[in-house]
């Protein structure tokens, strides 16, 4: 059985005091939750603070991005080697905000994915379609293309050591969650794409859902057969919401197949 994972994506939010308060509220509650893995992906300046706060806890640390280059004259860049030094287990690559606001192409995302792997961390690869793409009926084409760029650069075996996050762009931060059936359909499609190359690996790779996951809808989403947890934005900034979502993942045992 695939392990479930809930990863908080704090995005560009937080402060030293606010982070501490959030972790003080969430960590004691999460310490006793068995049956799923948890992580928080925090802004670069807070890696050291959160690394310290997570010592001895079962919540892992992640970064939200890395630079595709190893090092050198890249003003403002933060390399995979740097975030690895702070004990990051995960780094998100290809988040739709990076793709749309900062212009990360499929090829750049593939380089970032490779850099994260090279430094011993697990990439959380985000894929997902815009509303126009969904309405145009090209959701599968889009996510397949995003996945293919990774396989072309790093090979299918590398994908097996990653986490995929399906995040429909129209559901991110909008309050408009994909229905469990919509999520399941794309998750199953992604798994089929991987299975076409390596069935055993397809069975192992966790596929998270992201996009307006809240305490109120997490359990239904996590109950779907191919939904292995969530990548949580806004709700990961509210301790009670995040705790409830983590508990929902830990309790999502009875899988629904459609
Ligand atoms: P959201 O963000 O939960 O605020 O919709 C999810 C994400 O972008 O990872």
Put simply, whether the predicted model's pTM sits higher than 0.75 gets the answer yes
- Residues at CB less than 6 angstroms from ligand 1: 9, 167, 172-173, 210-213, 231-235
Q: Is 187 a catalytic residue?
A: no
- Beta pairing partners, 62: 41, 90
List the catalytic residue out of 97, 167, 187, 241.
Answer: 167
- pLDDT tens per residue across span 128-184: 999 999 999 999 999 999 999 999 999 999 999 999 999 999 999 998 999 999 999
Instruction: Give just the sign of the alpha carbon dihedral 243, 220, 40, 9.
Output: negative
For residue 61, give both structure tokens: 């640390």
Ligand 1, atom 2, lies closest to the CA of 233
In the chain, what are the domains? Answer: 4-251 (3.20.20.70)
For residue 148, give both structure tokens: 């293919």
Counting residues of the chain whose pLDDT is more than 90, the rounded percentage is 94
């Amino acid at each position: 059985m695939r392990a479930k994972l809930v990863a908080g994506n704090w995005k560009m939010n937080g402060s030293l005091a606010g982070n501490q308060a959030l972790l003080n509220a969430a960590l004691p509650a999460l310490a006793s939750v068995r049956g799923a893995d948890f992580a928080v992906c925090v802004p670069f300046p807070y890696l050291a603070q959160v690394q310290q706060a997570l010592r001895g806890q079962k919540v892992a640390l992640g970064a939200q991005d890395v630079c595709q280059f190893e090092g050198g004259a890249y003003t403002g860049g933060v390399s995979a080697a740097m975030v690895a030094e702070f004990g990051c287990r995960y780094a998100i690559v290809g988040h739709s905000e990076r793709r749309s606001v900062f212009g990360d192409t499929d090829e750049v995302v593939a380089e970032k994915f490779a850099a994260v792997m090279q430094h011993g961390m697990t990439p959380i690869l985000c894929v997902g379609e815009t509303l126009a793409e969904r309405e145009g009926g090209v959701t599968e084409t889009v996510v397949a293309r995003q996945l293919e760029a990774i396989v072309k650069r790093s090979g299918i075996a590398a994908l097996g050591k990653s986490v995929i996050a399906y995040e429909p762009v129209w559901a991110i931060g909008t309050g408009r969650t994909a229905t469990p059936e919509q999520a399941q359909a794309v998750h199953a499609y992604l798994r089929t794409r991987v299975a076409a190359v390596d069935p055993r690996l397809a069975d192992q790779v966790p596929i998270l859902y992201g996009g307006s996951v809240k305490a109120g809808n997490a359990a239904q989403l996590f109950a779907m057969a191919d939904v292995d947890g969530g990548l949580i934005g806004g709700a990961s900034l509210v301790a009670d919401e995040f705790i409830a979502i983590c508990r929902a993942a830990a309790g999502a045992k009875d899988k629904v197949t459609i």
